[in-house]
Chain A
Amino acid sequence: MKILIVEDDLEAADAMARGLTEAGHECVKAADGEEGLGAAHAGQFDVMIVDRMMPKMDGVTLIQTLRREGDGTPVLFLSALGEVGDRVTGLQAGGDDYLVKPYAFAELIARVEALARRRETGSVATVLKVGDLEMDLIGRTVHRQGKEIDLQPREFQLLEFMMRHAGQSVTRTMLLEKVWEYHFDPQTNVIDVHISRLRSKIDKGFDRPMLQTVRGAGYRLDA
């Protein structure tokens, strides 16, 4: 993927670019909002990573400008502001996701890849397929190798998210945010328990486990 990084902290931008390049992505860096706007105009990007507080033009203004111009590139906001209101402002301005600094790199890369994926699937499919796992979004049914799997509503949502991001790592925080819509760090392993329940339903009795644990990052659904 081609990623634009708009971040005034050069060290942070370098570290980000290095990590993303290692993961096989191509990165372009811009050191402030104005430079970021120029770069966005000059090239086609799959995802933009934008810091909120920057000199010359802050991240929110930059994204509002791009959105007004009809640029729909997915945006991940990075921010040292972690208030409820800040996140809402960022998302209202046209951001697609929001990550509070400091973050684990695994969290950043998982979110960036999830954003790019969202763009590809136009979300119009009524059936999701990953390997031999099939989800009918209209009938609300799930089959693996033709066998119906009975899921609770929340488990269904959880699996849907994992299937939409099949092959990518998704973090616990992402799951809590996207599936439960909560934005806090639980002190306990609540998410793991839900995942292990889902795993026992979709992997148990089949030769190949699909729901993988990615150490230090979270989970991944593999075909």
Chain B
Amino acid sequence: MRLPRIFRTTAFRLTLLILALFASASLAFLAYIYVATASEATRRTDREIVQEMRSLTGAYDRAGLDAVNQSLIERAASERPFLYLLMGPDGKRISGSIEASPVESFRGDASWTTFSVTDQDAHGRTLKHPARGLQERLKGGEILFVGADVGEDEAYLVKVVRALWGAGGLVLILGLCCGVLVSRNVSRSMAGLAGVLEAVNNGDLGARAPVRNTRDEFDELAQGLNEMLDRLERSMAGHKHAGDAIAHDLRSPLTRLRARLEAAYLDVEAGKADPTQAIEQALEDTDGVLKTFNAVLAIARLQAAGSAPDPVLFDPAELAADISELYEPLCEDKGIDFAAELTKGLQVRANREFMAQALANLLDNAVKYTPAGGAIMLRVRRRSSGEVEFSVTDTGPGVPEEDRARVVERFVRLENSRNQPGAGLGLSLVAAVAEAHGGRIELDEGPGKVGESGPGLRVALILPRAG
């Protein structure tokens, strides 16, 4: 059997728990007060009875029975709140304010008793009061009883108990209020979180949990949830952007490929072209599209991820030397003077593969645009800011200042590079790699104009300091 929903809520359980805590704490407290009050009242009455008894036995010891009798009569007539009874050794009443001793089976030692006295109130109604009394045998064998009406104490105790019940009720009400308040706060915070989750489930990634700046666990939870949602939203936006970018970027090369195939088909049909050649051309075009696709995908994934996967600590000079070794023969073949200036012993935390690819892209570009007789310089150095800079400088035509921001965008190819191979994704990938590592790229002029060539280009990939 399942409990109704209300009983399963944390709020209800919390209320119940707080109430139980309040109730048990107040019960213990009130019980203590009651016991302390009641026993104190009894002890006080007993002390007074004993004192009265002592003063009477003292009188007896000093001046004998008659003095006690005298004293009793006086005292009974006065306003003293005691009941007296003086009896002979046989238990017969000699004098006092009551008729008979309430003590049953008196054996001679001091004995306490609790009894009740009847009284008449102003309206003639009979009232019963509780009373306590002490009975002792005097040295001469007579028996003396001193009692006291504890009705007032009892009435006082009744008042105390009533007050205690009231207090208990108040405490319970207070506990209930506290419980409701606390649990309402909890359930309100919970409801806030649950509402956000529901909204996110319904596709609203923009929903955020309210943060009340109370810096309690709920706030921490809400903040954690919000941070997670922020990341999720960024990542989703990144992926959506990546999807859009891929769709957009592949449409043109695919359209071109299709147009070429169609033209080739018509030419072959008309007997104007060799089918084998057309197929070869188509294959080459397809490879081009695939290369483009891979590059776009890599860029899009890097941008969507927002960070590079599997970063490791390594010496950038080693990587740069490795890549130099790959490109040096190519430069030499083209008649380009290649040099590397690598500061050893630096450290970067990066994905080696992506960094290698970025450097290869920069060198690819430099080799493509630098004429024979030109020069390419690869540098790794530490900036004064502590950042690590990889840079490739060439003596090619360079990029006009107004175009520098643009060449980083995908598929931007400047007029003078139209006849070069490539899809215009090289620098975009370098920029994406830099950004994914929390770095950036900078483009500026190379060494300047030398005769026909120049002014050259310097592309720097700057990574934040490791650690």
Q: How far is the CB of B190 from chain A (nearest CB, A)?
A: 38
Top 7 A-B pairs ranked by shortest CB distance? Answer: A184-B357, A187-B364, A193-B329, A193-B330, A188-B364, A84-B353, A187-B422
B356 at the interface (CB under 8 A from A): yes
Asked whether A84 and B329 contact (CB < 8 A) given A184-B357, A187-B361, A187-B426, the answer is: no
Interface string of A101-129 (1 = CB under 8 A from B): 01010000000000000000000000000
Q: B309 and A188: CB pair below 8 A?
A: no
Asked whether A188 and B330 contact (CB < 8 A) given A84-B309, A84-B351, A85-B310, the answer is: yes
Q: B351: which A residues are within 8 A, CB to CB?
A: 84
Q: How far is the CB of A81 from chain B (nearest CB, A)?
A: 10
Q: B75: which A residues are within 8 A, CB to CB?
A: none
A83 at the interface (CB under 8 A from B): yes
Q: B310: which A residues are within 8 A, CB to CB?
A: 84-85, 88
Partner of B290, one of A83, A84, A102, A197: A102
Q: B252: which A residues are within 8 A, CB to CB?
A: none
Q: B353 and A184: CB pair below 8 A?
A: yes
Q: How far is the CA of A116 from the CA of B136 in the complex (A)?
A: 121
A selection of 6 A-B contacts at a CB cut-off of 8 Å is A82-B294, A84-B353, A84-B354, A182-B353, A182-B357, A193-B330
B333 at the interface (CB under 8 A from A): yes
Among A185, A196, A197, chain B packs the most CB atoms within 10 A around the CB of A185
Q: How far is the CB of A205 from chain B (nearest CB, A)?
A: 20
Partner of A187, one of B329, B354, B368: B368
Q: How far is the CB of A155 from chain B (nearest CB, A)?
A: 10
Q: A183 and B287: CB pair below 8 A?
A: no
Q: B367 and A188: CB pair below 8 A?
A: yes
Interface string of B348-370 (1 = CB under 8 A from A): 00010110110011001101100
Q: B329: which A residues are within 8 A, CB to CB?
A: 190, 193-194, 197
Q: B291: which A residues are within 8 A, CB to CB?
A: 185
Partner of A104, one of B287, B330, B353, B421: B287
Q: A183 and B368: CB pair below 8 A?
A: no
Q: A83 and B426: CB pair below 8 A?
A: no
A140 at the interface (CB under 8 A from B): no
A145 at the interface (CB under 8 A from B): no
Partner of A154, one of B325, B353, B368: B325
Q: A186 and B360: CB pair below 8 A?
A: yes
Q: How far is the CA of A88 from the CA of B364 in the complex (A)?
A: 26
Q: B365: which A residues are within 8 A, CB to CB?
A: 187
Q: A85 and B309: CB pair below 8 A?
A: yes
Q: How far is the CA of A95 from the CA of B319 in the complex (A)?
A: 27
Q: B353 and A189: CB pair below 8 A?
A: no
Starting from the known contacts A84-B309, A84-B353, A184-B360, 16 additional A-B residue pairs (CB-CB under 8 Å) come to A82-B294, A83-B301, A84-B351, A104-B287, A182-B326, A182-B356, A183-B353, A184-B353, A185-B291, A185-B294, A187-B421, A188-B367, A189-B330, A193-B329, A193-B330, A194-B326
B297 at the interface (CB under 8 A from A): yes
Interface string of B312-349 (1 = CB under 8 A from A): 00000000001001110110010000000000000000
Q: How far is the CB of B123 from chain A (nearest CB, A)?
A: 99
Partner of B309, one of A83, A154, A180: A83
Q: B357: which A residues are within 8 A, CB to CB?
A: 182, 184
Q: A190 and B327: CB pair below 8 A?
A: yes
Number of interface residues of B (CB under 8 A): 29
Q: How far is the CA of A180 from the CA of B365 in the complex (A)?
A: 20
Q: A88: which B residues are within 8 A, CB to CB?
A: 310
Closest to B294 in A: A82
Q: How far is the CB of B106 from chain A (nearest CB, A)?
A: 99
Closest to B353 in A: A84
Q: B325: which A residues are within 8 A, CB to CB?
A: 154
Q: How far is the CA of A182 from the CA of B364 in the complex (A)?
A: 15
Q: How far is the CB of A58 from chain B (nearest CB, A)?
A: 21
Q: How far is the CA of A193 from the CA of B86 in the complex (A)?
A: 137
Q: A188: which B residues are within 8 A, CB to CB?
A: 330, 364, 367-368
Task: Kindly identify, within residues 352 to 392 of chain B, every residue whose CB is under 8 Å from any CB belonging to chain A.
Answer: 353-354, 356-357, 360-361, 364-365, 367-368
Q: B360 and A182: CB pair below 8 A?
A: yes
Q: How far is the CA of A187 from the CA of B329 in the complex (A)?
A: 15
Q: How far is the CB of B331 from chain A (nearest CB, A)?
A: 9
Q: How far is the CA of A85 from the CA of B311 in the complex (A)?
A: 11
Q: How far is the CA of A193 from the CA of B309 in the complex (A)?
A: 32
Interface string of A179-223 (1 = CB under 8 A from B): 010111111111001101100000000000000000000000000
Closest to B425 in A: A187
Q: B360: which A residues are within 8 A, CB to CB?
A: 182, 184, 186
Q: How far is the CB of B268 from chain A (nearest CB, A)?
A: 20
Closest to A102 in B: B290
Q: How far is the CA of A156 from the CA of B330 in the complex (A)?
A: 18
Interface string of A128-167 (1 = CB under 8 A from B): 0000000000000000000000000010000000000000
Q: How far is the CB of B415 from chain A (nearest CB, A)?
A: 19
Q: B327: which A residues are within 8 A, CB to CB?
A: 190
Q: A82 and B356: CB pair below 8 A?
A: no
Q: How far is the CB of B386 from chain A (nearest CB, A)?
A: 27
Q: How far is the CA of A76 from the CA of B373 in the complex (A)?
A: 44
Q: How far is the CB of A20 from chain B (nearest CB, A)?
A: 19
Q: How far is the CA of A188 from the CA of B294 in the complex (A)?
A: 16
Q: A185: which B residues are within 8 A, CB to CB?
A: 291, 294
Task: Kindly identify, within residues 213 to 242 of chain B, every residue whose CB is under 8 Å from any CB belonging to chain A.
Answer: none
Q: How far is the CA of A96 from the CA of B361 in the complex (A)?
A: 28
Q: A190 and B330: CB pair below 8 A?
A: yes
Q: How far is the CA of A186 from the CA of B310 in the complex (A)?
A: 22
Q: How far is the CA of A157 from the CA of B122 in the complex (A)?
A: 126
Q: How far is the CA of A93 from the CA of B297 in the complex (A)?
A: 25
Q: How far is the CA of A188 from the CA of B421 in the complex (A)?
A: 9
Among A187, A193, A194, A197, chain B packs the most CB atoms within 10 A around the CB of A187
Closest to A188 in B: B364
Q: How far is the CA of A183 from the CA of B351 in the complex (A)?
A: 13
Q: A184 and B356: CB pair below 8 A?
A: yes
Q: How far is the CB of A16 from chain B (nearest CB, A)?
A: 17
Q: A182: which B residues are within 8 A, CB to CB?
A: 326, 353, 356-357, 360
